[in-house]
A and B are shown apart, each in its own frame.
Chain A
Amino acid sequence: MSRKAWAITKREYLERVRARWFLIATFGLPVILAGLIFLPELIVSRGASGDGDLNLGVLDYSGRVADDLGDALGDRWTLQPVHEEHERSEEELREAFLATSLDGLLIVAEDPDEGGSVRLLARRAISSRQGRELRGGIRDALVTARLREHGIEEIDTRRLLRGADLQIIQVTPEGERSREAFQIVAMLFAVVTYMMFLIYGQLIVRAVLEEKSSNVVEVMMSSVRPWEMMLGKMFGVGAVGLTQIAIWAAIGGLLSLYGLPGLASVLAAEGVDLAHVRLPIGLVAWALLYFILGYLLYAGLFLAAGASLGNEQDAQQVVTPLVVIIVVGFILVIGIIESPESRWAVVGSLIPLFSPMIVPARLAISHVPAIELAGSVSLLVLGMLGSAWLAGRIYRVAILMSGKRANLPEMVRWIRHG
Chain B
Amino acid sequence: MIDRAIHLQGITKSFGEQTAVEDLDLCVPSGSIYGLLGPNGAGKTTTLRIILDIIGPDRGRVEVLGSQVDDAVRSRVGYLPEERGLYPRMRVLDHLVFLAVLKGMHRSEARAAAQHGLERLELADRSADRVDTLSKGMQQKVQFLSTVLHHPDLLILDEPFSGLDPINVDLLQEIVLERQRQGSTVLFSTHRIEDAERLCDRVCMVAGARKVLDGPLGEIKASAGRREVLLGLEGDASFLRQLPFVRRLSDHGNYFEIRLEDGANPQEILKAALSENVRVRHFELAEPSLREIFLERAGTRAAEPGAEEVS
Quick one: which of A272-302 are within 8 Å of B by CB?
none
Mark interface residues in B78-101 (1 if CB within 8 Å of A CB, else 0): 010101111111100000001101
A4-B85 in contact (CB<8A):
no
Q: 11 additional contacts, CB 8 Å, given A15-B87, A215-B83, A223-B102?
A: A4-B71, A4-B101, A11-B90, A217-B85, A218-B49, A219-B143, A222-B52, A222-B74, A222-B79, A223-B103, A224-B74
Residues of B within 8 A of A216 (CB): 85-87
The 9 A-B residue pairs with the shortest CB-CB distance in the complex, in nearest-first order = A215-B85, A222-B79, A223-B102, A216-B85, A215-B83, A218-B81, A221-B54, A7-B101, A214-B85
Task: Decide yes or no whether B112 CB sits under 8 A from chain A.
Answer: no
State the main secondary structure of chain A at its contact with B: helix
Interface contact A15-B85, CB-CB below 8 Å: no
Chain B nearest CB, measured from A57 CB (Å): 70
In Å, the complex CA distance between A217 and B84 comes to 10
CA of A216 to CA of B146, assembled, Å: 12
The complex places the Cα of A30 from the Cα of B206 at a distance, in Å, of 60
State the CA gap A19–B89 with chains docked (Å): 9
Is the Cβ of A15 less than 8 Å from the Cβ of B90?
A: yes
A222 contact set on B, CB distance < 8 A: 52, 54, 74, 77, 79, 81
Distance, CA A221 to CA B99, complexed state (A): 11
Asked if B224 CB lies within 8 Å of chain A CBs, one says no
Residue A220 lies at the interface, judged by CB distance under 8 Å to chain B: yes
Are the CB atoms of B99 and A219 closer together than 8 Å? yes
Contact A214-B54, Cβ < 8 Å, known A4-B102, A11-B98, A223-B74: no
Assess whether A218 is in contact with B74, with CB atoms less than 8 Å apart: no
Name the interface size band of chain B.
Answer: 20 to 34
Q: Which residues of A contact B (CB under 8 A)?
A: 3-4, 7-8, 11, 15, 19, 210-211, 214-225, 400
B88 in complex: contacting residue of A7, A214, A220, A400, CB < 8 Å = A214
- Beta-carbon contacts under 8 Å, B37-72 to A: 49, 52, 54-55, 71
Q: Which residues from chain A contact B104 at a C-beta distance below 8 Å?
A: 3
Please name 7 pairs of A and B residues whose Cβ atoms are closer than 8 Å in the assembled complex, sorted by A.
Answer: A3-B101, A218-B54, A219-B79, A219-B146, A221-B54, A222-B81, A400-B54
Are the CB atoms of A218 and B103 closer together than 8 Å? no
On whether the beta carbons of B55 and A400 are closer than 8 Å, the reply is yes
- C-alpha spacing A270/B308, complex, angstroms: 89
- Considering residues B85, B98, B102, B104, which has the most beta carbons from chain A within 10 angstroms of its beta carbon? B102
Task: List residues of chain A with CB within 8 A of the CB of B98.
Answer: 7, 11
Q: Which residue of B lies closest to A221 (CB)?
A: B54
CA distance A37 to B271 in the complex (A): 97
Q: In the complex, A150→B2 CA distance in Å?
A: 114
Taking CB atoms, residues of chain B closer than 8 Å to A225 are: 71
A215 interface neighbour in B74, B81, B102, Cβ under 8 Å: B81
Q: Which of A3, A7, A211, A218 counts the most chain B CB atoms within 10 A?
A: A218
Q: Specify which chain A residues have a CB less than 8 angstroms from the CB of B81 in the assembled complex.
A: 215, 218-219, 222
A215 touching B84, Cβ below 8 Å: yes
> What is the CA–CA distance of A3 and B87 in the complex, to the nearest angstrom?
20
B188 to chain A, nearest CB (A): 15
Let me know if A214 and B74 touch, CB within 8 A. Answer: no
Whole-angstrom CA separation of A219 from B77 in the bound complex: 11
Residues of B within 8 A of A224 (CB): 74, 102
- Distance in Å from the Cβ of B277 to the closest Cβ of chain A? 55
CA distance A217 to B86 in the complex (A): 9
Determine how close the nearest CB of chain B comes to the CB of A39; give it in whole angstroms. Answer: 35
- Residues of chain A with a CB closer than 8 A to B55's CB: 400
What separation, in Å, do the CA atoms of A221 and B51 have in the docked complex?
12
- B156's closest neighbor in chain A, by CB? A222
Whole-angstrom CA separation of A220 from B102 in the bound complex: 8
Q: Within the complex, what minimum Cβ distance (angstroms) separates B243 from chain A?
A: 48
* B83 x A218 contact (CB < 8 A): yes
Residues of B within 8 A of A3 (CB): 101, 104
A5: nearest residue on chain B (CB-CB)?
Answer: B102
Contacts of B77 in A (CB 8 A): 222
Tell me how far the C-beta of A366 lies from the nearest C-beta in chain B, rounded to whole angstroms.
46
* Bound-complex Cα distance A215 to B54 (A): 14
Q: How many whole Å from A214's CB to the nearest CB in chain B?
A: 5
> Which one of A11, A216, A223 has the greatest number of beta carbons of chain B within 10 Å?
A223
A8 CB contacts on chain B under 8 angstroms: 102
Within the assembled complex, what's the spacing in Å between the Cα atoms of A8 and B95? 11
In the complex, what distance in Å separates the CA atom of A400 from the CA atom of B53?
A: 12
Within 8 A of A (CB), among B98-153: 98-99, 101-104, 143, 146
A9 to chain B: closest CB distance in Å? Answer: 12
Q: Give the complex CA separation of A225 and B79 in angstroms.
A: 15
Asked if A218 and B102 sit within 8 Å, CB to CB, the answer is: no
* B101 neighbours in A (Cβ, 8 Å): 3-4, 7
Residues of chain B within 8 A of A221, CB atoms compared: 52, 54
Question: How many Å from the CB of B68 to the closest CB on chain A?
Answer: 14
Shortest distance in angstroms between A4's beta carbon and chain B's nearest beta carbon? Answer: 5
A contact residues around B84 at 8 Å (CB): 215
B49 to chain A: which residues have CB within 8 Å? Answer: 218
Give the complex CA separation of A15 and B86 in angstroms. Answer: 14
Residues in A neighbouring B102, C-beta threshold 8 A: 4, 7-8, 220, 223-224
What residues on A are CB-neighbors of B88 within 8 Å?
210, 214
Chain B residues with CB under 8 Å of A223's CB are: 74-75, 99, 102-103
How close is A179's CB to chain B, nearest CB, in angstroms?
A: 48
Report chain A residues within 8 Å CB of B74: 222-224
Cα of A19 to Cα of B71 in the assembled complex, Å: 32
